Structure 1
Amino acid sequence: MDPTCAEVTVGSRTGRAVLAAAILGSSLALLDSTVVNVALHRIGEDLDASLEQLQWVSNGYLLSLASLTLLGGSLGDRFGRRRIFMVGVVGFALTSVACGLAPTAPVLILARIAQGVSAALLVPGSLAMIQGTFAPADRSRAIGTWSGLGGVATAVGPFLGGWLVQAVSWRWVFLINLPVAVVTLVVARRVPETRDPAAVPGFDSIGAVLGALGLGGITYALIQWTAEPGVAAASLGVGLVSGVAFVINERRRPHPMLPPALFASRQFSAANAMTLLTYAALGGVLFFLVLQLQTVAGLGPLEAGLATLPITVMMLLLAGRGGALAGRIGPRLPMTVGPLLCAVGTLLLSRVDEDLHYWTDVAVPLTVFGLGLAALVAPLTAAVLAAAPDHHAGVASGVNNAVARAGSLLAVAALPLMVGLTGADYQRPEVFDAGYRSAMLWCAALLVGGGLLSWLLIRNPDSDRPTWVIEGTAGD
């Protein structure tokens, strides 16, 4: 099917299959970027891991996901979005088994890196299937449904992870992916194939390697700076040089993995810059909060997961309505107010300590945080895709997903260094508590920056152009 002549509607049987496959597949990857946070404390105890190793359990996944998402989107555009999506789902299932059976921390880290590679194939494909399959009139509504329910999947991660860790084992945080992957593959068989008709054979392997080296070098340097300063400095140099080489390579190649022309759109560039700041803060908040609740407040994994339930509730009830409102007034205001509300919630979360009062210290702040998240998620996704041509749907989706994961990746790598945490500090309440408070302030600052950036650079569609409308998502 040529994506330029897509005619599938949301209410059709095929449309429901496309949405179901896309939501299930992306939820696999999104859940595993958050659900593991609740399990980190138990993983550390069971595998005798250091804080640096726990960072890599989280960041190994985010690193390969962020580094290769662009490649995954490009491969989908060229070789078939459904095909690459299904390959990613199969790989994700197999690597989830490897994670669940890992006997040591280093083995778990390697399995998580491999899991991120698979996620890099399925995440951009999920959204590109929607963009390439649905008729233009139904496309924004479908994106809104995908965005709202995908946001719920992200938010439900800590709750699900906490229950699995406490009721069974941290290993089931990974093994639970198997049945979901099987259902996703069954549904995906009913999805029509789409690709970019102008795509050329082959792919930008040099760009993929340079992108991975750039992010990997910088991440390794941030995590190991205290333990191995000499090696970390060399790694930082490799990362920076590779990053510069990546930009040069993409500008010179006739068919780059990341078309520089996409960034000629100020809307596209601004939305991705806002994504970087906002998701860096989101990754930092979730990483530190669930450890603070267990290490300092003394909660178990299930209690820590349940504590984050207000985010899930807000996303479930309001993500669709937030998207519908943004469809009427444009993306600028929601993308400004949303991060600012998240910043307020983050500042309130900084009060969490050993003398925990759940409703005032956690429930209210996370409700405010979830309200902001519900306001910004759907408008952000739609603004990014609306700023890119349809035939680059996979790449545009890949860029935005890569930026989001890179933001979380760099935040989880940098924040412990910035607030003075290392080694086994996650098991020392008095030390971790002080670092947690500083980390929350940094996250709030990132969110304020994201809100200001949106206000200054994001623009609503011109009145003489068709506006994108997001409706019919979860909670409507």
Structure 2
Amino acid sequence: MGYTCGAITIAPYELVDRYGARGPLVIGPTIAAIGFAGFAVPGVGGSYWTQYFPAVLLLGFGMSISVAPLTTTVMNAVDQGVGGAASGVNNAVSRTAALLAIAIFGIVMNLAFNASLDRQLKGMTMAPDKLHKVVVQRAKLAAIALPAEASEQERVALKSAIDQSYISGFRWVMGLSASLALGSALSAWLLIGRPPQDGQQA
């Protein structure tokens, strides 16, 4: 797959060979970090198109800049004879990183959600049995079922506490994601050399 300009088609790896992977692997993750940070801005309610869709576009654009240069850099770092092994290792590391991210971010989400929920429930003047029915469901996060016997005012207060706690956890996850993306951009800036200029040896 390549990028077409008029009658000329340029593959991503050709762009990397010509200009180097350093720029895309710095710019792409930086844009992705801005996208992650954009997800942390909205609160409860609001429109998807105005609050979340811009962040989706930024994140997707940043990832599209990053993926092809990253793969090309890995493949160019080894001899052709071990290209298959390099591709397998690259894919295995990618899948493992995704699994670790899900596990770690799940822990972060739960810790932040529980801390926020405990903090908000402590300030409520409500029967302990009603609060207990919410607390025992904390693993459900935003899907916690409200006590049927709670009054309308109590249900509104509990729903607000649950929603705010979920947003708090979500913001922690997005902030951590943005930090990691910026860390990858910094790593690319420091560790990847500039492409050799014409007349210079690699």
TM-score (norm 2): 0.65
Name the counterpart of 1:442: 176
Q: Deviations over 1:254-302 (max 9, x none)?
A: xxxxxxxxxxxxxxxxxxxxxxxxxxxxxxxxxxxxxxxxxxxxxxxxx
Distance 1:348 1:333, change over 3 A: same
Shift of 1:441: 0.4
Q: Deviations over 1:430-455 (max 9, x none)?
A: 23222111110000000000000000
Q: 2:141 aligns with which of 405, 408, 425?
A: 425
Matched to 1:361, the amino acid is: Q
Name the counterpart of 1:416: 106
Query: CA–CA distance in 2 between the matches of 1:390 and 1:344?
Result: 36
Matched to 2:33, the amino acid is: A
Q: Deviations over 1:29-66 (max 9, x none)?
A: xxxxxxxxxxxxxxxxxxxxxxxxxxxxxxxxxxxxxx
Q: Deviations over 1:167-221 (max 9, x none)?
A: xxxxxxxxxxxxxxxxxxxxxxxxxxxxxxxxxxxxxxxxxxxxxxxxxxxxxxx
Q: Deviations over 1:357-379 (max 9, x none)?
A: 22331221111112211111111
Q: Does 1:348 align with 2:64?
A: no
Q: 2:53 aligns with which of 363, 372, 377?
A: 363
Name the counterpart of 2:196: 462
Distance 1:448 1:393, change over 3 A: same
Higher alpha-carbon Rg? 2
Query: CA–CA distance in 2 between the matches of 1:459 and 1:391?
Result: 24
Structure 1 segment 5-84 matched on structure 2, within 5 A: none
Shift of 1:348: 0.6
Distance 1:399 1:412, change over 3 A: same
**Is the contact between residue 334 and residue 375 of structure 1 (CA under 8 Å) also seen in structure 2?**
yes
Distance 1:337 1:441, change over 3 A: same
**Is the contact between residue 323 and residue 375 of structure 1 (CA under 8 Å) also seen in structure 2?**
no
Distance 1:465 1:407, change over 3 A: farther
Shift of 1:353: 3.6
Q: Does 1:393 align with 2:83?
A: yes
Matched to 1:425, the amino acid is: L
Shift of 1:356: 2.6
Matched to 1:449, the amino acid is: G
User: Aligned to 1:418, what secondary structure does the other structure show?
Assistant: helix
Higher-helix-fraction structure: 1
Name the counterpart of 1:337: 27
**Is the contact between residue 416 and residue 435 of structure 1 (CA under 8 Å) also seen in structure 2?**
no
Name the counterpart of 1:381: 71
Moved over 4 A (4+): 320-325, 464-467
Name the counterpart of 1:406: 96
Shift of 1:390: 1.2
Question: What percent identity do the matched residue pairs reach?
Answer: 31
Query: CA–CA distance in 1 between the matches of 2:107 and 2:66?
Result: 29
Distance 1:321 1:388, change over 3 A: closer
Query: CA–CA distance in 2 between the matches of 1:466 and 1:356?
Result: 56
Structure with higher RCO (Cα < 8 A, 6+ apart): 2
**Is the contact between residue 22 and residue 193 of structure 2 (CA under 8 Å) also seen in structure 1?**
yes
**Is the contact between residue 322 and residue 374 of structure 1 (CA under 8 Å) also seen in structure 2?**
no
Mind listing any 5+ residue stretches in structure 1 that lack a counterpart?
1-144, 149-319, 468-476
User: Aligned to 1:424, what secondary structure does the other structure show?
Assistant: helix
**Is the contact between residue 338 and residue 375 of structure 1 (CA under 8 Å) also seen in structure 2?**
yes
Distance 1:326 1:416, change over 3 A: same
Structure 1 segment 105-254 matched on structure 2, within 5 A: 145=1
Q: 1:451 aligns with which of 174, 180, 185?
A: 185
